[in-house]
Amino acid sequence: MKPKLTLKKIAKELDVSISTVSKALRDSPEIGEETREKIKAFAKHYNYKPNNIALSLKNRKTKTIGIIIPEIVHHFFTTVISGVEKVANEMGYNVLVCLSDNSFDKEVLNMEMLANGSTDGFILSLAKETMQKGDYHHLQEAINQGMPLVLFDRVVDSIACDKVIIDDVAGAKKAVQHLLDVGCRRIAMISTVDYVSVGKLRTKGYKEALEENDIEFDENLILKIEEMEDSEKEIEEFLSNCEVDGVFAVNEHFAISAVKTLQESGKKVPQDVSVIGFTDGELSKRFIPGLTTVSQHGMRIGEESARLLIEKLERTPTEEDYYKTIIVETGLVVRDSTKSKK
């Protein structure tokens, strides 16, 4: 049987990127005319149908929604999936899950696959690489063709669609304020690189909390980690080179590495240094000492995302289109890695 022609295959045959093929087929002026014509001619010759989304619209009501996440071995994203499943099932929908592995190409390919008649709409959290590139043409196109889309957690302002986020600035502020309340004065922050929106926003919250408490911001107290794999070593080096009495980490892995490093260097948590994390996963709960964390309520984020998407899918077409952003409030779970309030 002849395998179906896909974006990937066209890209490979013509030795261009997937994004280039995708854009050329939509006649994007970003792609030079010669390349565009070549790609279009090739696709036409092999009978490739670029308008899969439009095609699938004709046979709508698969009663299935797709969710694309950047990582799967990750407690927050799995709880979001659980939340989506819960609401979707209650409302008679099936759920298909795809992974982008934080790759832009995989995100584009996943959307192509899911839009190809398998699903009625998407729930998506952006791949790291997509945010780094700032290339969102695949999302815009889905929306243009009438395919509803809900972004969660890792979202982007420039795309008009429904969104479910937490208030990262407020969450981080809450965490740092808690450290200040228990007496910390030199608070380190362990964050991610700035193009990951949450890293940037949480850094903003950190700064705001310090400012409101008249504590000077010190650039040297911020560590930005690019690769999860090297994080343990980086955190060890960072903490051995700065004297702190509090640590705010943007995820629980970083927080736990901080606790381990501090303990190994003879410091006591929380007596000498209080540590607070973000994302309330199994690790935080089960760790000894139990980790104080900002909880993201992944389950609720998933539930709200599914509700928004299904609302869109079931509205009558005459209703006017408008987009909502739902902000799920963060909580603070106080455990034993931070000192008690005086």
Residues that bind a second copy (CB under 8 A): 1-4, 6, 8, 59-64, 72-75, 78-79, 81-82, 85, 89, 92, 94-99, 101, 106, 109-110, 113, 117-118, 256, 260, 263, 282-283, 286-288
By C-beta, is 66 or 205 nearer to a second copy?
66
Measured distance CA(109)–CA(165) in Å, rounded: 25
Q: How far is the CB of 2 from a second copy (least distance, A)?
A: 8
CB nearer to a second copy: pick between 72 and 242: 72
**What sign results for the dihedral spanned by CA atoms 122, 125, 130, 131?**
positive
Q: Compute the distance between CA of residue 138 and CA of residue 108 in angstroms, rounded to an integer.
A: 6
Minimum CB separation of residue 157 from a second copy in Å reads: 29
Question: CB of 76: closest distance to a second copy in angstroms?
Answer: 10
DSSP 262-283: HHHTT--TTTT-EEEEES--HH
Give the residue among 145, 150, 126 at the shortest CA–CA distance from 52. 145
- 3 or 134: CB nearest a second copy: 3
CA proximity to 330, closest of 268, 280, 273, 270: 280
CB 105 to a second copy: min, Å:
10
Q: Which is nearer to a second copy, 72 or 327 (CB)?
A: 72
- Minimum CB distance to a second copy smaller for 8 or for 186: 8
Q: Taking the CB of residue 133, how many other CB atoms lie within 10 A of it?
A: 12
Beta bridge partners of 68: 98, 124
Buried residues in 299-322 as b, exposed as e (16+ CB within 10 A): bbbbbbbbbbbbebbeeeeeeeee
In the complex, least distance from residue 236 CB atom to a second copy, rounded to whole angstroms: 15
DSSP label at 228? Answer: G
Does residue 184 contact residue 246 with C-beta atoms inside 8 Å?
yes
For a second copy, the closer CB: 64 or 177: 64
What letter does residue 199 receive in the DSSP assignment? Answer: H
What is the nearest approach in angstroms of a second copy to the Cβ of residue 199?
21
Nearer to a second copy, 99 or 166 (CB): 99
Q: Please list the residues that pair with 20 across neighbouring strands.
A: none
> What is the H or E stretch that residue 68 is in?
strand 64-69
Nearer to a second copy, 118 or 177 (CB): 118
Q: Which residue has the tokens 């409101």?
A: 212
CB of 32 to a second copy, least distance (A): 28
Burial of 68 (0-12, 13-18, 19+ CB in 10 A): buried
> What is the smallest separation between the CB atom of 340 and a second copy, expressed in angstroms?
20
